[in-house]
Structure 1
Amino acid sequence: MRTIDAETIDRVLTRADMVAALRAGFAEAMVTPVRHHHTLARAGEPTAMLLLMPAWSDTAETIGEDAVMGVKLVSVVPGNAARGLPSVVGAYVLMSGVTGEPLAVIDGSRLTLWRTAAASALAADHLARVDAQRMVMVGAGALAEHLIEAHTAIRPIREVRVWNRSLERAQELAAKFADRAFTVTATDDLEGAVVAADLVSTATMSSDPVVRGAWLAPGTHLDLVGAYTPKMRETDDTAIGRARIYVDTRAGALAEAGDLVQPITEGRITAADVVGDLADLCRGTVAGRGGAEEITLFKSVGTALEDLVAARLVWRRVAALG
C-alpha cells in the first residue's frame, strides 16, 4: 500500500485531466451512499464536523479488474483558520473493488481541493458562457486558489478579482498569480466586481448571503461552493429566483445546501426548479446554458463519487511512474 502526499498529487495531475476524469466519472455507474455527518462541539469556537464518505464502482453485473472502492475521512474544523491551518483536513483510503485490498492512503485535504475545483469547472464548462473573461473569486481560503486555477483552465478568463472579508488575505492570494497570463487583483468593492463579472465563484463559511442577486448581470454564471449546511448561505433569494439552477447531486444539495434548502422550505422555489445535476449534464439528459443572457447557478456540496474518481486518477498516475 502506498502513501501519496499532497506534493505528489500536485505533480501528477493537471486541471484539464481532472475535469475530464470527473466528466467520465459522472457518466459511469457508481454507488455513493449518503455520507455520514457527525457534529463535534468545540468549546470557544464554531462547531466542527466529522464526515465519512464511501463510494465504489457499481459491480452489480460484473467486477472488472480496475474496479475500485474507497472512503474519505474528513474533519471540517472552522476554528483552524485562527491556527493558520486548513479548515478541511482528512485522508482517502483507496481499495481494490475486486479483493478489497488497500491500494493507497492519499492526502484527503489536497484531493478534496482538486476534485472540488474540478467539479465547479466541469459545471462551468456546461453553464458559463464560452466567452467568459471576467471572474470574481469570493473568499480567499485554501480552495480559492484551486477554483481560480480550474476555472481559468476551461474558460478564457483574462481578469480575476478577489474579494475577502480581510482585504489582506485577498491581496496575498492575488500575489500568487503575479506571473500568469491573466491578471488577479484584490478588491474591497464586491458589488462593483460582481456587476462586471461573467463568472462568480464563492467559497466561504458564511451563514448570511454574501452575493446579492440584484448584482448579477444577464449571462452571469454563479458557482456556489461554500455553505455546506442547511443553515449556511452565500447568496440570496433574488439570485435563486433569477437563475437556472443546477447541482452536483440532487440528494446532497437538496438536503444540505442552505442556498436551496432555505428558499424551498419557505416556498420560494421547489425541488423541481433544480434543472439537473452533473450526471445529467455529463450524460446529456438535460441541457446546459440556454442562451447568452441566461443567469446560471451551480451549487456544490461535494459527493463521494468525485473523491473516488479523483483518487483513482491519482493512483493510476502514481502507479504508472513505477
Structure 2
Amino acid sequence: METILQIDENFIETHTNFIELVSVLKDAFKNNKTIVPLRHHHDFPNPSVNADSTLLLMPAWNPSEDAGVKLVTVSPKNGDFNLPSINGTYLYLDAIKGTIKAILEAKSLTAKRTAAASALASSFLSKKNANSLLMIGTGALSSNLIKAHASVRPINEVFIWGRSLEKTQKVCNLLKNEAFNIAPINTIEEKISDVDIISSATLSEVPLVLGKHLKKGQHIDLVGAYKTNMREADDETIIKSSVFVDTFQGGLKESGDIVQPLQNGSIQQQDIQADLFDLCSGNHLGRNHHEEITVFKSVGHALEDLVAANYYYKKFTNV
C-alpha cells in the first residue's frame, strides 16, 4: 500500500506564496472543470457550552486527475478552552485509485485558500492603486487576509481592530516585518472611512461594517458570518454596493450577509453581480468605475480546498 503523506501546519505556513496560490485558484475558476457537490452542513447541539457546533463535509474532484474531501468542525465557544473555533482535516485522494495520497492539516489550508480567494476577488474588484486596508477580526484568518491582499495590491498601511487588544497587538507583532505599516485601532469608526479595502473575518451576529461610514471607491471583503443568523455588514452596505460572491451555489444560501437582505427585500437575487467563475472567465469584468463601492462575500468552496491541497502536495513532493 502506498505511503500516506502527512502535510502539517508548519509546512503549509512556510511554503505559501500568495501570488502563486491566487494564480492557481484563478486558473481553476476560469477552467471550471472541478465537480463540487453542495457541501454537507450539519449543526448539532453542544449544551455544555450553550451553543451549536457545526460539521462541514466538502468533497470535490476532477475526474481521473485529483480528488479530496475536507472535514471541518466549527465550535464558536472554543475560545473558552483557548482553542481555535475551526478545526479540520483534508483528505487528498488519488482520483483514479481512490486511495489516500495525503492528509493535510485543514485549518492552515483553509486559512490560506480563503485568504487567496479574497485576494483573487480583490484583483477584480478593488481599485488597482488601493494602498490601505482595515482588518476587522484577529483570528487565524486575519494575518493571512492581510498578506494575501497585499500580494495583489500595493498595500502600505494596515489598521486592525478586534475585541481583544491583546490579540490585536499579537497580529501586529506577527506582521511587523512585512513591507507595510500595521497598527491597532480602538474603534472601527476611526478608520473605516479612510481606507481603500475593508476585510472582515469574524463570527459576529451584529453588523460591524455600517454603510453610513463607507466612501466611494471602497472594496469590502466579507469572510466571516458563515451562518444565516450572522452578519458582518448591514443592509445599507449591501444596498449601496455592487455585490459579488465566491459562488452562487453557496453565497446565496449560507450567510446572513446575503440571505437576510434577500429575505427582507433590500436586494433581489438578480442584484448579485457575479461570482468568481464569472470574474475569472471574463464573463464579468469586475469593478466598473473608480467611485463604485464593491462587496465580495465569501463562504468558501470545495474547489478552493482541492486546488490548495494539490498546490501543497506538489510542493511537498517537488512534483
C-alpha distance in structure 1 between counterparts of 2:303 and 2:310, whole Å: 11
Question: 1:189 aligns to what?
Answer: 187
Question: 1:156 aligns to what?
Answer: 154
Question: 1:17 aligns to what?
Answer: 20
Structure 1: 4+ residue segments shifted above 6 A: none
Q: Deviations over 1:169-215 (max 9, x none)?
A: 21221121222221110001211211001000000000110110111
* Range 138-147 or range 159-168, more displaced: 159-168
* Range 73-82 or range 42-51, more displaced: 42-51
C-alpha distance in structure 2 between counterparts of 1:218 and 1:286, whole Å: 21
- Correspondence for 1:234 among 216, 232, 235: 232
- Correspondence for 1:89 among 87, 90, 105: 87
C-alpha distance in structure 2 between counterparts of 1:70 and 1:288, whole Å: 30
C-alpha distance in structure 1 between counterparts of 2:248 and 2:260, whole Å: 15
C-alpha distance in structure 1 between counterparts of 2:299 and 2:42, whole Å: 16
C-alpha deviation, 1:13, in angstroms: 2.3
C-alpha distance in structure 1 between counterparts of 2:16 and 2:201, whole Å: 22
Question: 1:116 aligns to what?
Answer: 114
1:40 aligns with 2:38: no
Assess, with a 3 A threshold, how the Cα gap between structure 1 residues 11 and 165 changes in structure 2: closer, same or farther.
closer
**For 1:195, what is the secondary structure of its paired residue?**
coil
Task: Supply the AA of the counterpart residue of 1:101.
Answer: T
Matches within 5 A, 1:25-64: 25-28=28-31, 29-43=33-47, 44-57=49-62, 59=63, 63=64
**For 1:146, what is the secondary structure of its paired residue?**
helix
Identity %: 42
C-alpha deviation, 1:55, in angstroms: 0.4
- Correspondence for 2:166 among 165, 168, 192: 168
TM-score (norm 2): 0.96
Structure 1: 5+ residue runs without aligned partners? none
Question: 1:267 aligns to what?
Answer: 265
C-alpha deviation, 1:84, in angstroms: 1.7
Number of equivalenced pairs:
314
Question: 1:142 aligns to what?
Answer: 140
* Range 172-181 or range 22-31, more displaced: 172-181
Matches within 5 A, 1:92-111: 92-111=90-109
Q: Deviations over 1:206-256 (max 9, x none)?
A: 011011011111000000000001110001011001100100000101010
**For 1:30, what is the secondary structure of its paired residue?**
coil
C-alpha distance in structure 2 between counterparts of 1:75 and 1:167, whole Å: 27
C-alpha distance in structure 2 between counterparts of 1:267 and 1:150, whole Å: 34
C-alpha distance in structure 2 between counterparts of 1:272 and 1:255, whole Å: 14
**For 1:161, what is the secondary structure of its paired residue?**
strand
Task: Supply the AA of the counterpart residue of 2:37.
Answer: P
Question: 1:127 aligns to what?
Answer: 125
Q: Deviations over 1:261-296 (max 9, x none)?
A: 001011110111111000110000112011111000
CA RMSD of aligned residues (A): 1.0
* Range 224-233 or range 93-102, more displaced: 93-102
C-alpha deviation, 1:42, in angstroms: 1.2
Question: 2:254 aligns to what?
Answer: 256
C-alpha deviation, 1:167, in angstroms: 2.3
